[in-house]
A and B are shown apart, each in its own frame.
Chain A
Amino acid sequence: MSSSHPTTANSVSREEGAGYVLVRLSGEVDLSWSQDVRRAVLAAFAGNEPVGVELSAVGYIDSSGIAALVEGLQHARAQGRRFALVAPSDAVRAVLELARLDRVFAIVADTDALLAST
């Protein structure tokens, strides 16, 4: 089996950095918990910092997971806030490309780039 499908457990966590909020996802994002992801992403907009969603440990994402990210983007645009996907895995990139959303999202390599991407 290819390395793009690690058997990491599903998890979502929130990390308050110096001047940003990072929502860190891992595992396989699908319908069974994409509502948790959606809530976590929207909750990250509570302050005024830029919001990033870290996706390097995501081995799979389906359309419901993508929808949670799209909702975050829409929320950010409506409020004039910064929002970016941080270090998406190959698996995530492949789905974004398939959905023609790879140019819609701001995609950055790390949190430094998240801060710089104004």
Chain B
Amino acid sequence: MTVARQRIASLHAVAPRAREADALAFLAELSRSLAVSLDLRETLPRTITEVRDFLDVEGIALFLLDAATQVLECKVSAGPVDVTGMRLAVGQGIVGRAVAEDATQLVADADADARVWRAADEATGFVTRSIVCAPLRTAAGPIGVIEIVNRRDGKPFTEADAELLDLVAAPAALAINNARMAGALLEQQRLKREFDLARHLQKSLLPRRRRDAFPVLGVNRPAHEISGDFYDYFELVDGRIGFVVGDISGKGLDAALLMVRAASLLRWAGKDGLAPSAWLARANDELCETARDGRFVCALVGYVDRAATRIEFAGAGFPPVIVHRHGRYDEYAAGGPPLGILRDLVFGQHDLLLDGGTFYAFSDGATDVRDTTGKPIGLSGMRELIARHARETPQARLRGLLGELKRLHLVDDTTLLLVEAPQAERPELLLARTLPARAEAMRELRAELRAAFDEHGIEPRLRDRLVLAVDEACTNIIRHGYGPECEGAIVLRVSRSDSMLGIELVDDAPAVDPASIKPGPLGDCRCGGLGVALIDEVMDEWRIEPAEDGRGNRLVLRKRIPSWACEEADDT
């Protein structure tokens, strides 16, 4: 404000029309009302009238510059003649000149100045005697002009009037610029909503994960907001299961829309139980009729029986599949080029006995991931990753593979699909330990638990609470189950089933009465019962029951892990 104050002080030395304090107060109020305005279309007309009255002039007008056409258009005006809608080229008249030169223009005597654009007066009958125009300045250049015409006292405008208008123009320019940026932000938000909608639509096309004994399982990880990859599976009337993995060339919204079309087309073409080669041929002919702009679709389609004994499949421009069977890895190449390029193609297909093995199909987003030396990991890299996770459950394996690929840095959409004989759903074991029932064993156990929880992505705060709960459970067994005189062991199993963490503690101590173990109230300033209260606070549920073989006790703690629930949601 110091510079403004100096300028106002200096201008009042020449023209004491408005007192300095008044001018400052007016400018402050003007800045404030413009800054808090949510809708300039409503604020500007009122503001412009206030400025006119404060400056004591006959007419005032605000022109905004259209950056594309370089035309200035009057958006608001106040005075004897409404000039709203008047259009001027940059450089035309005094208004146009203020923008062209990015400098305030003062015309004391309009009659004597050839630069004044006379046509305006001729059209309106208004007599312009004196003009000041100040550009609306921003960092990116002027965005418009504020113009005042004729002092009401009949005198010509002076340098002081020009400086005052310049001061008024600054907050006006700021407010208009802000409003424009806010408008651009709204537009971005609208686009984002549309992208979100497209992504949800895509996700809704992916099949729900089957919780029953089902041989096919897939994951899809888009590299950007929307994916060009998809997978699908469905049951035929004869009991076989059809499956599809697809990868659309290109990125962005139009690739996503082609993906939606290709996904429904491939599902439709496979519903009749045609041989995989004929299935691809049918989808290819359909896509050739409509695919444009050089876009194409890489796809793999096939069938498997429910017990996953026999699998038949065919690929179109898709990376080779890997079958891991009895310690061997076999690769099966695609039977033809991508879909949507040439009509009337014939695709080759494979037909094999899975024989307890696992079939892996993955889009090139997986094989194109680069290793630490910068080379794509390729099929051999995928084989290594598969070997590393081979002993895990199918769901954990897919999650593990995707996790490793993510660590190496995924740059493309990635889809993995796995087919193998279904097992009864068994929980994934995170940690299993048999420890002596002694307090001295707890520190090491806590370290192991922390490491296991870290490895499985449980955030530190929750991890520490879970470690505390398990520790409290163990020390209760040590203190109250076995007692000081008795030696024994505790068998600990930590497992994951979907988003649920399960902790099982089995001891060999005399049976306890479950009803005798109750959590005390927390916040209670007593020494006993706190351990059970803490377990109760941390865990979602816990129960104690006789161990299976009749002797000892089994304590089960369960807790839903929010970050795991997010993973599950991503996997569907």
Contacts and interface: CB of A to CB of B under 8 A. Distances in A.
B453 to A, nearest CB: 11
A104 B442 CA distance: 28
Interface stretch (A46-54, A80-88, A90-98): A90-98
A60 interface: yes
Interface in A51-105: 60, 62-64, 66-67, 70-71, 73-74, 91, 94-95, 98-101, 103-104
B471 interface: yes
Contacts of A28: 443, 446
B525 A70 contact: yes
Contact of B451 (A1, A60, A94): A1
A67 B527 contact: yes
Contact of A4 (B447, B464, B525): B464
Interface string A1-13: 1101100000000
Interface in B507-549: 522-523, 525-528, 530-531, 533-534, 537-538
A18 B43 CA distance: 68
Interface in B455-492: 460-461, 464-465, 467-468, 471-472, 475, 478-479
Contacts of B443: 28, 30, 32
Contacts of A91: 464
Contacts of B478: 31
A48 B112 CA distance: 98
Nearest to B460: A2
B525 A98 contact: no
A88 B465 CA distance: 17
Given A31-B479, A64-B475, A98-B538, A70 B464 contact: no
Given A1-B450, A99-B533, A62 B475 contact: yes
A39 to B, nearest CB: 14
Contact of A62 (B440, B471, B526, B528): B471
A30 B525 contact: no
A70 B531 CA distance: 13
A36 to B, nearest CB: 12
B454 interface: yes
Given A1-B450, A62-B472, A31 B442 contact: yes
Contacts of B465: 94, 98
Contacts of A101: 522-523, 525
Contacts of A98: 465, 468, 522, 534, 537-538
B530 A30 contact: no
Using C-beta atoms within 8 Å of the partner chain, give the interface range for chain B.
20 to 34
A70 B450 contact: no
A30 B439 contact: yes
Nearest to B464: A94
Contacts of A94: 461, 464-465
A17 B542 CA distance: 46
A44 B475 CA distance: 27
Contacts of B446: 28, 60
A74 B528 CA distance: 13
Given A1-B454, A62-B471, A98-B534, A30 B523 contact: no
A67 B155 CA distance: 89
B442 A63 contact: no
Nearest to B446: A60
A77 to B, nearest CB: 9
Nearest to B537: A98
Contacts of B438: 32
A43 B95 CA distance: 89
B457 to A, nearest CB: 14
A67 B520 CA distance: 13
Contacts of A103: 523
A74 B524 CA distance: 12
Interface of A: 1-2, 4-5, 28, 30-32, 60, 62-64, 66-67, 70-71, 73-74, 91, 94-95, 98-101, 103-104
14 contacts: A4-B460, A5-B447, A30-B471, A63-B530, A64-B475, A70-B525, A70-B526, A70-B527, A71-B527, A74-B525, A94-B461, A98-B468, A100-B523, A104-B523
Interface of B: 438-440, 442-443, 446-447, 450-451, 454, 460-461, 464-465, 467-468, 471-472, 475, 478-479, 522-523, 525-528, 530-531, 533-534, 537-538
What 10 pairs across the A-B complex have the smallest Cβ distances?
Answer: A100-B523, A32-B439, A31-B439, A63-B530, A63-B531, A67-B527, A100-B522, A31-B475, A2-B460, A32-B440
Given A63-B472, A98-B468, 11 more contacts: A4-B460, A30-B471, A62-B468, A62-B472, A70-B526, A91-B464, A95-B534, A98-B534, A99-B533, A101-B523, A101-B525
